Amino acid sequence: MQQRTLGPFQVGAIGLGCMNLSHAYGVPPAPEQAEALLRRALDLGVTHFDTAALYGFGANETLLGRVLAPYRSRFTLASKCGMTGVDGKRVIDGRPQTLKRTCEEALRRLQTEVIDLYYLHRWDRQVPIEDSVGALAELVSEGKIRAIGLSEVSAATLRRAHAVHPVVAVQTEYSLWTRNAEIAVLEACRELGVAFVAFSPVGRGFLAGALTTPAQVAAFDARDIRRAMPRFAGEAFAANLRLLEGYLALAREAGCTPAQLALAWLLQRGEHILPIPGTTRIDHLEENLQAGEIRLDGDLVARLDTLINRHTVSGPRYAAATQAEIDTEEF
């Protein structure tokens, strides 16, 4: 796999987002299935694994620790703090003492002495970003984390944080159908030498081409977070489905799967972009990693951009309450 720079680390251009092994998209896979997928990822050369305290309220970090700790020297480990489960509810808390406590808990769950890349999962607006990043800087000095990242922040917030301590990565949703990063933060990352880690690079499954009817969305598990996302509801989803025929045709023309087309498009947007698709299936894992070998010609990319962009996709990516919790720029 081609290599890209993630702060002080060199990692495979395509990493593994581990969230849906424990969280977010309905019933998680059985433990043996999740463990098999993580081991297969290692075998295939994945060197960037991404988790968070939030995912499964600690269960995902525990899973990675149990399975991957014996191979710790073979990969870059990223996790996140500042958004966790408290008494069964999701809580955003960026106070320095909370971030430090969460890190200690994460180190135990991950069965490691140091976390390579530790993100502030959400900026807690009740706490100056300088205070939260200052706490993370202290964790660097103490040798508990190696590098600092931010998730779902604006270019302005990134610059404020970067002035306190170097930020090596920003993680935000980015794909053909979610272009908010193109407003400012993607370029800010380029200017500052910060890696941009793209989560949900396959549009939460939409760009994989498997969701083709409203009935499939109606059948989502009650715990599937897409149930609350406007793009998957009613008229917006019906309008988005009309984009699929042309998109699938472009994937056939490119000689790849729809998911590979979405990932290849991202990889060609910039050398500082590192997608982290997630999956619960080994065949999808293998398919995703092969996207690193695909090169799209300029004409096909132009037609992709014309077909799927912020003007043609219907519905915001988050409901209003969730949108209010994040700091990313909005069109």
Confidence (pLDDT) at 90: 94
CA distance 76 to 285: 18
Cβ 283 vs Cβ 257: under 8 Å: no
Bridge-based pairing state of the strands 89-92 and 48-50: unpaired
Domain-located, residue 264 = no
Domain-located, residue 75 = yes
CATH code of residue 274 = 3.20.20.100
Confidence (pLDDT) at 7: 97
CA distance 117 to 147: 5
Cβ 231 vs Cβ 225: under 8 Å: no
What is the per-residue pLDDT across 63-96, written as a single tens digit (0 to 9) for each? 999 999 999 999 999 999 999 999 889 999 999 9
Instruction: Give the residue numbers spanning the domain of 165.
Output: 3-204+270-293
Domain-located, residue 249 = no
Domain-located, residue 301 = no
Domain-located, residue 248 = no
Confidence (pLDDT) at 1: 85
Q: Which amino acid is at 41?
A: A
Domain-located, residue 131 = yes
How many domains is the chain built from? 1
Question: 84-108 burial by CB neighbour count: b if 16+ within 10 A, else e?
Answer: bbeeeeeebbbebebbbebbeebbe
Confidence (pLDDT) at 88: 87
Annotated catalytic residue, options 55, 118, 119, 174: 55
Q: In 3D, which of 164, 163, 92, 170 has the Cα closest to residue 124? A: 92
- Per the annotation, the verdict on 55 as an active-site residue is yes
Domain-located, residue 246 = no
Q: What are phi and psi of 66, to 5 degrees?
A: -65, -40
Domain-located, residue 186 = yes
- Residues lower than pLDDT 70 in the chain: none
